Amino acid sequence: MSGITGIGTTFNLPNYHGELFALTPDETPFLSAIGGLTGGGQTSSVEFEWQTYDLRDPNQQTRVRVEGATAPGAEGRVRSNVRNVAQIHQEKVSVSYTKQATSGQVATPSAAPYRGVDGSNPISNELDWQVQQAIKSIALDVNWSFINGKYSNPTTNATPRQTRGLLEAIVTNKTDKSGVSYTGATSATDTITVTHALSNGDKVVFDNTDVATGIVAGRVYYVVNVSTTVSFKVALTTGGTPITLGTASNIALHRPSTTALAVDDVNTFVQGIYDNGGLNGMPMLLVNSTQKLAITKAYASAYGQAHGLINAGERVAGVAVDRIVTDFGDFGLMLERNMPQDAIAAVTMGQLRPVFLNTPGKGVFFEEALAKTGASDDVQIYGEIGLEYGSERSHGLLKGLKV
Per-residue pLDDT tens digits for 311-343: 666 777 778 788 888 888 889 999 999 999 999
Side chain identity at 386, as an amino acid letter? G
Asked, for residue 279, whether it belongs to a domain, the answer is yes
- Do 216 and 184 form a contact (C-beta atoms < 8 A)? no
Are 224 and 270 contained in the same domain?
no
> Which has the minimum average pLDDT: 18-22, 144-148, 302-306, 355-359?
302-306
Side chain identity at 120, as an amino acid letter? S
* pLDDT band, residue 290 (cuts 50/70/90): very high
Are 313 and 297 contained in the same domain?
yes
Closest C-alpha among 164, 161, 163, 249 to residue 210: 249
> Which has the minimum average pLDDT: 47-51, 209-213, 220-224, 306-310?
306-310
What total of structural domains would you count in the chain? 2
Asked, for residue 208, whether it belongs to a domain, the answer is yes
- Do 395 and 337 form a contact (C-beta atoms < 8 A)? no
Instruction: Give the range of the structural domain holding residue 319, as residue numbers without chain letter.
Output: 263-352+389-397
Are 393 and 308 contained in the same domain?
yes
Helix (H, G, I), strand (E, B) or coil at 162: strand
Side chain identity at 183, as an amino acid letter? T
- Domain final position from 207, 234, 255: 255
Mean pLDDT, rounded, for 192-219: 95
Are 227 and 294 contained in the same domain?
no
* pLDDT band, residue 127 (cuts 50/70/90): very high
Dihedral, CA of residue 210, residue 212, residue 215 and residue 218, to nearest 10: -10
Are 347 and 267 contained in the same domain?
yes
Indicate the pTM of the whole model.
0.93
pLDDT tens sequence across 231-259: 999 999 999 999 999 999 999 999 999 99
> Quick check: 10 pLDDT over 90?
yes
Asked, for residue 94, whether it belongs to a domain, the answer is no
- Domain final position from 209, 232, 255: 255
- Domain final position from 190, 223, 255: 255
Are 290 and 393 contained in the same domain?
yes
Q: CATH number of the domain at 295, please.
A: 3.30.2320
- Do 223 and 210 form a contact (C-beta atoms < 8 A)? no
Are 233 and 279 contained in the same domain?
no
Asked, for residue 340, whether it belongs to a domain, the answer is yes
Are 297 and 393 contained in the same domain?
yes
Are 250 and 284 contained in the same domain?
no
Cα–Cα dist 262/256, whole Å: 15
Asked, for residue 133, whether it belongs to a domain, the answer is no
Task: Check residue 310 and give its pLDDT.
Answer: 66
Asked, for residue 380, whether it belongs to a domain, the answer is no
Are 250 and 288 contained in the same domain?
no
